[in-house]
Amino acid sequence: MIEAGTPSIVDASMLQRIDDDGVRIELAPLAVHPVTFTIAGVPVEVRFNVAGAAGIYRLRYQHMLSSQAPIMTAYAVARTPGETVFWAGDGPLYCWDRSEIPDRVIAFFADAVATTTFLCSIDNVIALHAAALTDGRSAAFIAGVSTAGKSTTAIACFRRGLRLYSDEFCLVRAGGVLPYPRAISVRREGLELLLADAAPKSPVDAWLRANRGDDRENVGFDELFGNPACPAPRPLRIAFAAVAKERAPSVRSIAPAQMLAHTKPFARLKPRGLAGVAALLEVLQPLTCYELTLGPPDETAELIAQVLRADRPAGPKAS
């Protein structure tokens, strides 16, 4: 729940861009609460002047924390109770100046600004806004907007024996999909859907029952799955785009060029313009691509597992 005075739905597009480089000099020294973590092996840092926001952010990246010196730094600084400024490196400055916002919204905006900059700065990595998972041999992603049901589907897939790299970004490098175990937010609607499923028993079940009836933010992989370790990189072979919800799940085969339309608007990568489109299409071209209509979570997860099994390459299963 968003506190009074803050819009019920918060989106990074609500931030206002400002042009005043003197703000960096003025505000950067105030950011004395750092959170350092790694993305694709690169140490990065977000600095806050609000300790509560830094604590929430640290929870969000609890399985990615690092003691290495950061290569890139972002900032979230509340200049007044009603004005907070966000920026990363020498990138654009963004401001929220409509009202006082709670610590978790500061952390949310900081993450939107920081991760966009970080992920667009790392060589040879393409980040797709998608859940990423594996059956131990191949990797797949499920793309979709924030309310598409990616997290609910990803949890259901875990109950069906698949393992999760991330419910937020699928990081693709030449060697395969990389872990991005940012903590998961579980909406109560998705939680109820999972509890209503006649799914196979799994370590997730006790957590679902204990947390029934409320939204939960920043749930660590260890808390939810019983083991924070992410699977090793695996080659990306399957792409799903969640496009609808019906009473029963289904998939429709599409061309990689069609998948481009589902992934390009929210992709993060260093090449820009036509070079970026070409780099993204190069990742998608070898994949088997589907539009995915979501049904009940367990039925959807079983369908995804079936698709992975049907497309499974030869060779022994990796651990």
User: pLDDT category, 316, cuts 50, 70, 90?
Assistant: very low
User: pLDDT category, 10, cuts 50, 70, 90?
Assistant: low
The verdict on 237 and 296 lying in the same domain is yes
pLDDT of residue 38 exceeding 90: yes
The verdict on 49 and 71 lying in the same domain is yes
CATH number, domain containing residue 269: 3.40.50.300
The verdict on 91 and 184 lying in the same domain is no
Q: How many domains are contained in the chain?
A: 2
pLDDT confidence of residue 4? 42
In a domain, residue 144? The reply is: yes
Percentage of the chain beyond pLDDT 90 is 76
What integer is the mean pLDDT of 207-216? 88
The verdict on 110 and 146 lying in the same domain is no
In a domain, residue 3? The reply is: no
- Per-state percent for the chain, helix, strand, coil, to nearest 5: 35, 30, 35
pLDDT confidence of residue 313? 58
- Of 119, 138, 168, the one marking the end of a domain is 119
In a domain, residue 230? The reply is: yes
pLDDT of residue 9 exceeding 70: no
pLDDT confidence of residue 318? 46
The verdict on 186 and 271 lying in the same domain is yes
By three-state DSSP, how is residue 120 classified?
coil
Structure confidence by residue, pLDDT tens digits, 235-294 = 999 999 999 999 999 999 999 999 999 999 999 999 999 999 999 999 999 999 999 999
The verdict on 158 and 301 lying in the same domain is yes
Structure confidence by residue, pLDDT tens digits, 43-81 = 999 999 999 999 999 999 999 999 999 999 999 999 999
Supply the range of the domain harboring residue 225: 126-310
| Sequence-distant (≥ 6) Cβ neighbours of residue 201 within 8 angstroms | none
| Sequence-distant (≥ 6) Cβ neighbours of residue 160 within 8 angstroms | 199, 200, 298, 301, 302, 304, 305
pLDDT of residue 8 exceeding 70: no
- Of 57, 86, 119, the one marking the end of a domain is 119
The verdict on 111 and 164 lying in the same domain is no
In a domain, residue 138? The reply is: yes
The verdict on 27 and 91 lying in the same domain is yes
Give the whole-angstrom CA distance, residue 107 versus residue 12. Answer: 11
In the block, tokens 């991330």 appear at 166
In a domain, residue 105? The reply is: yes
| Segment (H or E) for 254 | strand 250-254
User: pLDDT category, 37, cuts 50, 70, 90?
Assistant: very high
The verdict on 136 and 113 lying in the same domain is no
User: What's CA 94's distance to the chain center, in Å?
Assistant: 21
In a domain, residue 212? The reply is: yes
Q: Report the predicted TM-score, pTM, of the whole model to 2 decimal places.
A: 0.90
The verdict on 103 and 86 lying in the same domain is yes
The verdict on 236 and 286 lying in the same domain is yes
- Of 119, 142, 157, the one marking the end of a domain is 119
In a domain, residue 2? The reply is: no
The verdict on 146 and 270 lying in the same domain is yes
pLDDT confidence of residue 212? 87
In the block, tokens 């999909």 appear at 177
In a domain, residue 5? The reply is: no
pLDDT of residue 197 exceeding 90: no
